[in-house]
């Protein structure tokens, strides 16, 4: 008979318990990154990131909306004397304005992006809410605000980039418009949202694996 498993109290609750506590080292593998991917990048990766070009377009749009919103929020909180409740509406307005600007500028770079993404370009305004929730403890300086926004955009770029790359490869046999696979071997289902969500799940698993590897390496180095 198998020996009974250790009671729950003995086993570590989650890998966060073994992660290093140094905030500088915590930057890229932040727990908030994983939550942010699941909660907010999910729909974008599942529906919008069907090709690598689409992913690039979305990342640029995010950069254009999030960076000003993050800086604006920092200014409102630290410099101006306005009440707290006005942050979210003002940031959302600024995000929407920047999204409109993006919808005008992006077709110059990615002609087909606006057609395939449509409404999703304007949904980036929702990221201002993300900024409100996740940057509470981290933002003390303007560089901090910009750095946080850049970190978020880079993570988003990574997720949608990987998902878009795999889906474009499987569905069209191309990467960034260049044919790689012999024609005839395409999986039409990779264009569909369910495949994007599956890939997202696999990617999250991979990221958690790397995180645990990182923690193990860090522990070994600390000894």
Partner 1 sequence: MKRLKLPPMGVFHRGIPMEQHKEPALSQPLDLLTNTPEPQRMEGQPVYPDLEHVEPFEIIRAAKAAGIIDERDGLPLFKKLKACVAKGVFIRVDAVDDEPYLSSQLGPLLRFREECVSGLRLACKAITAADSGIIEVYRNMADLEIKIPRSIEGIRVRRIGGFYPTEIRSGYSLVEEEGKRYLYLGSCALIHLHRAVFQGLAQTTAFLTVGGNCVAHPCNLEVSLGLPVTDVLDRCGLTETPTRVVVGGSMTGQSVSDTDKALVTVTTRGVLAFRDKEQTDRSPCIRCGRCVQVCPMGLNPMMLYRSIQQGLERETEALDYKHCIECMCCSFECPARLEIAEAIKEYRRGRRSAT
Partner 2 sequence: MKLSSRTAPHIRGGRSNRTVMLDMIVTLAAVYFMAWYYYGRRALILGAVSVAVCLAADHACTLLRGRKPQLLDLSAVVTGMLIPLMMPASIPYRVPVVAGLFAICIVKQAFGGLGNNIFNPAAAGVAFAIVCWGGTMFAYPTPFTPLETVGNVSALLTSGPAYTLYVGGVPRLDAGTLLQGVIAGPMGTTNVLVIAACGLYLAARRTIHFLQPLLMLGTVALCSLLFPRGMSEGLTSVVNELFFTPVVFFGVFLFTDPVTTPIRGVAKGLYAVFSGILCALLTRFGGYEMMFPFALLLMNAFVPLFDLAAEAYCTRERRRAYEKAGEHASNDFGPDDDEAAPEAQG
Sites of contact with partner 1 (CB under 8 A): 1, 4-8
Nearer to partner 2 (CB atom), residue 89 or residue 201: 201
Which one of 18-26, 28-36, 111-119, 187-195 is the stretch in contact with partner 2 (CB under 8 A)? 187-195
CB-based burial of residue 102 (10 Å sphere; 0-12 exposed, 13-18 middle, 19+ buried)? Answer: buried
In sequence order, the β-bridge partners of residue 174 are 179
Nearer to partner 1 (CB atom), residue 6 or residue 24: 6
Residue 59: how many CB atoms within 10 A of its CB? 21
Which two tokens mark 38? 């699941």
Which residue, 120, 135, 141, is CA-closest to 65? 120
Nearer to partner 2 (CB atom), residue 42 or residue 68: 42
Phi, psi at 104, each rounded to 5°: -85, -40
CA dist., res. 162 & res. 166, Å (int): 6
Q: Are 159 and 41 in contact (CB under 8 A)?
A: yes
Among 112, 205, 210, 216, binds partner 2 (CB under 8 A): 205
Binding map of partner 2 across residues 1-40, x = CB under 8 A, - = no contact: x---------------------------------------
Fill in the DSSP letter of residue 5.
P
Q: With CB cut-offs between 5 and 8 Å by kind, which of partner 1, partner 2, none does residue 79 bind?
A: none
Q: Are 147 and 28 in contact (CB under 8 A)?
A: no
Q: With CB cut-offs between 5 and 8 Å by kind, which of partner 1, partner 2, none does residue 25 bind?
A: none
189 binds partner 2 (CB under 8 A): yes
Fill in the DSSP letter of residue 23.
T
Among 140, 201, 210, 213, binds partner 2 (CB under 8 A): 201
Nearer to partner 2 (CB atom), residue 154 or residue 198: 198
> Computed over its alpha carbons, how large is the radius of gyration of the chain?
20
CB of 10 to partner 1, least distance (A): 10
CB of 3 to partner 1, least distance (A): 11
Among 188, 206, 212, 213, binds partner 2 (CB under 8 A): 188
Looking at the chain, which runs of residues are DSSP E strands? 174-175, 178-179
Contacts to partner 2 by CB under 8 A: 1, 185, 187-190, 192, 198, 201-202, 205
């Amino acid at each position: 008979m198998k020996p009974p498993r250790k009671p729950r109290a003995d086993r570590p609750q989650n890998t966060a318990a073994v992660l290093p506590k140094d905030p500088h080292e915590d930057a890229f593998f932040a727990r908030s990154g994983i939550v942010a991917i699941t909660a907010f990048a999910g729909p974008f990766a599942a529906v919008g990131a069907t090709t690598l070009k689409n992913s690039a377009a979305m990342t640029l749009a995010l950069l254009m909306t999030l960076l000003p919103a993050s800086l604006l929020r920092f200014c409102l909180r630290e410099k101006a004397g306005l009440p707290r409740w006005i942050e979210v509406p003002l940031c959302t307005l600024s995000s929407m304005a920047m999204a409109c600007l993006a919808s005008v500028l992006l077709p110059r770079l990615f002609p087909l992006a606006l057609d395939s993404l449509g409404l999703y370009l304007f949904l980036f305004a929702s990221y201002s809410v993300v900024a409100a929730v996740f940057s509470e403890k981290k933002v003390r300086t303007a560089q901090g605000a910009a750095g946080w926004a850049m970190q978020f955009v880079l993570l988003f770029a990574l997720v949608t980039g990987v998902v878009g790359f795999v889906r474009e490869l499987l569905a069209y046999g191309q990467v960034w418009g260049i044919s790689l696979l012999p024609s005839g071997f395409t999986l039409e289902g990779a264009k569909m949202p369910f495949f994007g969500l599956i890939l997202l799940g696999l990617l999250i698993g991979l990221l958690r694996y790397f995180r645990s590897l990182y923690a193990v390496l860090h522990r070994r180095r600390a000894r």
